[in-house]
Structure 1
Amino acid sequence: MTLRQTLASLPRDARDTLFLLFVIVWVIAPQVSNLPVWTSVLAGGLLLWRGWLAWAGRPLPGRWTVAVLLVVAVAGTLLTHRTILGRDAGVTLIVMLLALKTLELRARRDAMVVFFLGFFTMLSNFFFSQSLLTAAAMLVALLGLLMALVNAHMPVGRPPLAQAFRMAGTMALLGAPIMVALFMLFPRMAPLWGMPGENLTGRSGLSGTMRVGEMAEIALDERVAIRLRFEGAPTDVPPQSALYFRGPVMTSFDGRQWQAEPFREDSAWAARVAVPASLQVSGPAVRYEVTLEPQRQPWLMVLEATPDAPQLPNMQAYMTQDLQWMTTRPITEVLRYQAVSYPQFRHGPQQAVQQLRVYTELPTGFNPRTLALAAQMRTDPALATANAETLVNAVLQRLRTGGYSYTLDPGVYGEHTADEFWFDRKEGFCEHIASAFVVLMRALDVPTRIVTGYQGGERNPVDGYWTVRNADAHAWAEVWMEGRGWVRVDPTGAIAPNRVGAFQRLRAPQGALATAMGTLSPGMVQNLRAVWEAVNNSWNQWVLNYTQKRQLDLLKALGFESPSWQDLTTLLGTLVLAAALGGMGWSAWERSQHDPWLRLLARARQRLARAGLALPDNLPPRAMAQQVQAHFGAPAQRLSDWLLQLEQLRYAPSPATELAQLRSAFRSLPWPQP
């Protein structure tokens, strides 16, 4: 016997239960990466157990068993999250409650509770991800739950799942206009899913620290970090070599790790931040719109340099002394904003000040050979009294001609990272190169610091947006030069010019499937990815970033001069009222299409049932009259005559009465009392 035949031979309740369990697994599956391991294992075990009970026709466990499991679930939630409140703890608990409730599916009331928990669990998926894939998966889950709900309301017979699917699809289509209206017009004060995440660990490759040797791992992450849409003609877009997105600026070095300066209440920190930014921009401006993926960090990614604050919805931004734009809270949802940048700029003091000395500090006991190299360079007559620009060119020339290479896999560096790069390995990723460069420049007594961010990007030919990935994370240096201030120097470009100029960054090894597809059709994988990212970008732009401003813009397009949230509420209420009236009209029309003779006969059957005489639905009026005479006797003669007249109206060639007369007589009949 095949699996299909086996399923067809199962009792109706077993089949419906197995289908419901499959839908529940589909709802919970996207949450596995967000749930504690014990939750996924226990919930999966409970669902498998319930499926086996339905398949084998075994009785459900007793209430004490379920109660013990409930205590275990609540205790596990408390031990894991230290609370049962909040997003993570709440989702853990709701998943366990859903799995446990399937062990109590004894009546329709229990099924309704399962449906309610299933819909809530489906909604909770959006607390963690609002991607297009998640939305598509939850749309399938919605149809599955609606099918199970339809099955629960069709207890008679064995209706095929295709019938339930058609009915569920019809219900979803009928509700779609209301859903769209609520989405577009329901007043919102923040982006759609503005609930902040509890885990603020950065998703992007950037952080407030840069440990030498760890940044190469970011090249394996092909997820999108930033999308940009430039205004103006394509010729107004800066070249790829000028696309530097400024992130954290690293100033402190402990021999192994660079760190951005946190706020501290001491004189050293005060001296460092006292160096004025003194930003001066020139040349043509670049105007663009950024869609920033959630990074759970407060950093705004903008092109160097941006003098004015980006236009943010419901959030404020400020610029640090290091030209880094930041928000007042971590970015936990897709954020879209406009910015204006100037690729030609100057910043920092033009003349030497005491505060710049902190940018020449190095930890003692580290990189002795690099310090000796700096001392040796200073003995060269051409470099003994050279300025910063000359020293920078000398170090860059050493990188170009010294046999150094750019690689994703430089190996594990030891304690003296700069020494190993300059003298031993002579290969590294961008952070190895930038760190070794800055250490040598500081050893030469030149103020230097590391800047991290993103560099480059690629244009999507489908929608015209520029895409910057986590793999495009980059580290470069800034050198202070008298009369010029802080000047960007990218030492990686000296070793691998194509990384910055032609933007040929290193690629992570591809899997066997991607390699095979690329071999058969070199451009197919790239074209498919471009199409998918264009579709996903449209989802981000038109759904996740549908803010109150865009709602008000919609009202302006509809003719409102100065729209407000009150106008949104009024318009939404009007549409809901119109939909309700339309539904009432449709219901009245549908009822009018039903056979009025059958409705009158059904009313008579209902009145007799209340009087104590329950009759089958398929009994004709003449047989009903006979049952009335036999049950109630002579006092029910008028009722029997009325039933016979009702039958004559239906089947006699020329009935003596009209339906309206019988409907009027129905109200005056002496109905028996129970």
Structure 2
Amino acid sequence: MSAQPATAPRATLRQTLAHLPREARDTLFLLAVIAWVIAPQAQWLPVWTSLLVAGILLWRSWLAWYSRPLPSRWITSGLIAPVAFGATIFSYGTFVGREAGVTLVVTLLALKTLELRARRDALVIFFLGFFTMVSSFFSSQSLLTAAAMLVGLLGMLTALVNAHMPVGRPPLLQSFRTAFTMTLLGAPIMAALFMLFPRMAPLWGVPSEQTVGGSGLSGSMKVGSIAELALNEAVAFRLRFDNPTQELPPPSTMYFRGPVLAGFDGREWRAEPFREDSAWAARAGLPANLQVQGPALRYEVTLEPQRRPWLMVLEATPQAPELPGNPTYMTQDLQWMAARPIMDVVRYRAESYPEFRHGPTTAARQLREFVALPPGFNPRTLALAAQMRADPALANGDTAALVSAALNRLRTGGYSYTLEPGVYGEHTADEFWFDRKEGFCEHIASAFVVLMRAMDVPARIVTGYQGGAINPVDGYWTVRQSDAHAWAEVWMPERGWVRVDPTGAVAPGRVGAFERLAAPRGAFASAMGTMIGVSTLQQLRAAWEAVNNRWNQWVLNYTQNRQMDLLKKLGFESPSWQDLTTILGGLLGVAALGAAGWSWWERSQHDPWLRLLARTRKRLASAGLPLPDHLPPRTMAQKVLAHWSQSATNPGHAPQSTPAQPIQPIADWLLRLEQVRYAAHPAAQLSALRREFNALPWPAARKGP
């Protein structure tokens, strides 16, 4: 029976990479860096861009792995590029603009990897890569994005250094050390520029063409939409009260006002009506008539980007929030708006009064718009309203009594608060009151307002956030997207608009104790909770959010005012732009002098052995023995002995500088200099030879002819 041949062990990935040509390995490293730089933008780019870029990078990696030739320029320039340009035009309608420009740059960066034939092509890729890194901050300036781009910067610098060191092809680790050193040396200059360069609107602060699509509240509410936000644990905004020891208002009054919705088509609520008439046009003249009383709460808000213009403040805020560079105004519905959408993390101050009244105190024609209902919807709710109005106890039409009766029905009618009430049909209010009897806050608020309007009571929906939690690490009050809420406002004579939260009648814990419905955890989250523990995960999240909040406060919100405060701490009484320019110029001048000194010192330290050999060659040339630069010390010693020995035996041909002393010590010194070149630790021996240099019996320098 013949023996089976032994199967050769499969090579590992590391062994396979080691056997690849060096050029292929460098190309794969560069492609990996490019993929890393582009990856954070995948969520903002069109789907076709991400697929095209991924396909090109994988194709280019396959070509490098198997040492295949690059595609012809006709394929890249004549086929792929026109398709990419056409898709960009199809997606945005133009090449001009932030989103279209970033899409085009990312596509060009990927396409350029198919033309990586010379160093010139590599330099173009590096420049496009650096620009792509900067463009990542157009969409997100989070701490994670900054950390990812720092890693990308080190990778890109490593590839750039490696491209300029073709001789000997040093390992990538050596190029990385050089790139890391360059980054460390540039860090102080970067910090000085960040602290002192005059603050202005950052490049990524240009207005976006797309002002919708951000996570959070919107200007309309389809019944069931806020329940989707309850699954989103992202931070909406943070608060820090000026006086942490001040008694905060009761949890049931911690409402952050957002869009006010009055128009209803049977399924969706909007800030504007679904028809145009004179009644709605007249509503613009309905005054806010805000009256506040009691102590004020002063606080600072750090608002996350939302691509919408509304500002989140506690009810009610009579004075405009201090938002630098973006004017603010208040609508007649008490909603504070910014002139431009909030595209970046912003920080502003506000002053709110938990005790307030607003709206007209007497009946006005404009209030009729708030009792309008679309015809043909929710017939059973209309019948319920008529039945309640016919009740003798409610026959006098007192609004407070009608509201109390509706809330009592919610408390005692078997209604429940849930994230998964199912899909509602055409008559949403009827289904809630009579069929399902369960829903999220917008189901409850919508059904309540429809019932109020059916009883001829002006009512509307207010969306925003309610509650939040204090981060135990940094003490900030954190409000998440899961805290999104919808409540109602009912108009009462002599009182104006009065907040009524019907969700509190169904689930008092949702409003009073900040009890939130938790979304079902997936398998990964359940496993993590089992291995680490829920409390530990919560502590880790609190710590991470505190760090991210510090990034927002000290980096993203480093404004001109904080620059001036820094100059005041440095001793400037009335700091100005000129002071900033003077300090920055002085620091840059010192940095330039330091760099020049470092360059001179480094040049002087460059290979001290070669410098000592050149010094020896110069001394011998001055004595009448010029030697070529390529001669090693051993050959130079032989030349020295031959030259002066001939001069001693043939005086007729002796130069004017024929030495009287023996020349052998110089030859011996040259031989020892050659030995030092190959010594394990040459520094000490080289220092000794340098000291002996001046003591050698050098021949006298030749004089002129």
TM-score by length of 1: 0.90
Q: Do 2:264 and 2:274's aligned partners in 1 also have CA atoms closer than 8 Å?
A: no
1:651 maps to what in 2? 670
1:11 maps to what in 2? 21
Q: Do 2:257 and 2:315's aligned partners in 1 also have CA atoms closer than 8 Å?
A: yes
2 CA distance for matches of 1:479 and 1:489? 7
1:102 maps to what in 2? 113
C-alpha change, 1:466 and 1:605, in structure 2 (3 Å) is: farther
Secondary structure class of the residue paired with 1:290: strand
C-alpha change, 1:595 and 1:203, in structure 2 (3 Å) is: closer
C-alpha change, 1:393 and 1:262, in structure 2 (3 Å) is: closer
How far residue 604 of structure 1 moved from its aligned partner, in angstroms, is 11
Equivalent positions of 1:258-297 (< 5 A) are: 258-261=269-272, 267-297=278-308
Q: Do 1:263 and 1:269's aligned partners in 2 also have CA atoms closer than 8 Å?
A: no
Secondary structure class of the residue paired with 1:339: strand
How far residue 62 of structure 1 moved from its aligned partner, in angstroms, is 2.8
1:179 maps to what in 2? 190
2:542 maps to what in 1? 530
1:437 equivalent in alignment to 2:456: no
1:27 equivalent in alignment to 2:40: no
2 CA distance for matches of 1:366 and 1:478? 22
2 CA distance for matches of 1:249 and 1:511? 35
Equivalent positions of 1:250-399 (< 5 A) are: 250-261=261-272, 267-399=278-410
How far residue 264 of structure 1 moved from its aligned partner, in angstroms, is 10
Q: 2:74 aligns with which of 64, 67, 85?
A: 64
2:645 maps to what in 1? none
2:239 maps to what in 1? 228
How far residue 222 of structure 1 moved from its aligned partner, in angstroms, is 1.0
Secondary structure class of the residue paired with 2:42: helix
2:670 partner letter: Y
C-alpha change, 1:657 and 1:535, in structure 2 (3 Å) is: closer
C-alpha change, 1:265 and 1:382, in structure 2 (3 Å) is: closer
How far residue 599 of structure 1 moved from its aligned partner, in angstroms, is 3.8
How far residue 160 of structure 1 moved from its aligned partner, in angstroms, is 2.7
Q: 2:172 aligns with which of 136, 149, 161?
A: 161
How far residue 45 of structure 1 moved from its aligned partner, in angstroms, is 2.1
2 CA distance for matches of 1:544 and 1:519? 36
2:569 maps to what in 1? 557
2 CA distance for matches of 1:552 and 1:654? 55
1:39 equivalent in alignment to 2:38: no
Secondary structure class of the residue paired with 1:432: helix
2:3 maps to what in 1? none
Secondary structure class of the residue paired with 2:43: helix
2 CA distance for matches of 1:366 and 1:655? 104
Q: Percent identity?
A: 70
1 CA distance for matches of 2:121 and 2:219? 51
How far residue 332 of structure 1 moved from its aligned partner, in angstroms, is 0.6
Q: Do 1:126 and 1:134's aligned partners in 2 also have CA atoms closer than 8 Å?
A: yes
1:464 maps to what in 2? 475
1:115 partner letter: F
How far residue 516 of structure 1 moved from its aligned partner, in angstroms, is 2.6
How far residue 647 of structure 1 moved from its aligned partner, in angstroms, is 7.5
The structure with the largest alpha-carbon Rg is 2
Structure 1 residues without counterparts, runs of 5 or longer = 607-612, 630-636
1:593 maps to what in 2? 605
1 CA distance for matches of 2:153 and 2:260? 46
How far residue 645 of structure 1 moved from its aligned partner, in angstroms, is 13
Secondary structure class of the residue paired with 1:523: helix
2 CA distance for matches of 1:614 and 1:440? 107
2 CA distance for matches of 1:444 and 1:360? 8
C-alpha change, 1:157 and 1:616, in structure 2 (3 Å) is: farther
Q: 1:115 aligns with which of 88, 105, 126?
A: 126
2 CA distance for matches of 1:31 and 1:14? 27
Cα deviation, 1:362-387, whole Å, max 9, x if unaligned, reads: 12211111111111111111100141
1:91 equivalent in alignment to 2:91: no
2 CA distance for matches of 1:47 and 1:402? 61
Q: Do 2:31 and 2:57's aligned partners in 1 also have CA atoms closer than 8 Å?
A: yes
Structure 2 residues without counterparts, runs of 5 or longer = 1-10, 619-625, 643-653, 672-688
C-alpha change, 1:620 and 1:238, in structure 2 (3 Å) is: farther
Q: 1:134 aligns with which of 135, 141, 145?
A: 145
How far residue 50 of structure 1 moved from its aligned partner, in angstroms, is 1.9
1:543 maps to what in 2? 555
2 CA distance for matches of 1:579 and 1:649? 46
1 CA distance for matches of 2:326 and 2:429? 41
1 CA distance for matches of 2:157 and 2:561? 34
Cα deviation, 1:303-344, whole Å, max 9, x if unaligned, reads: 000000011111111111110000111111111000000000
Q: Do 1:191 and 1:547's aligned partners in 2 also have CA atoms closer than 8 Å?
A: no
2 CA distance for matches of 1:503 and 1:189? 40
2 CA distance for matches of 1:501 and 1:527? 24
2 CA distance for matches of 1:334 and 1:618? 66
2 CA distance for matches of 1:392 and 1:174? 69
Q: Do 2:419 and 2:440's aligned partners in 1 also have CA atoms closer than 8 Å?
A: yes
Equivalent positions of 1:406-445 (< 5 A) are: 406-445=417-456
2:12 maps to what in 1? 2
1:584 equivalent in alignment to 2:603: no
How far residue 595 of structure 1 moved from its aligned partner, in angstroms, is 5.8
2 CA distance for matches of 1:49 and 1:665? 68
2 CA distance for matches of 1:173 and 1:655? 36
2:210 maps to what in 1? 199
How far residue 557 of structure 1 moved from its aligned partner, in angstroms, is 1.2
Q: Do 1:191 and 1:545's aligned partners in 2 also have CA atoms closer than 8 Å?
A: no
Cα deviation, 1:235-275, whole Å, max 9, x if unaligned, reads: 42223322100011111111111111389996323321222
Q: Do 2:377 and 2:426's aligned partners in 1 also have CA atoms closer than 8 Å?
A: yes
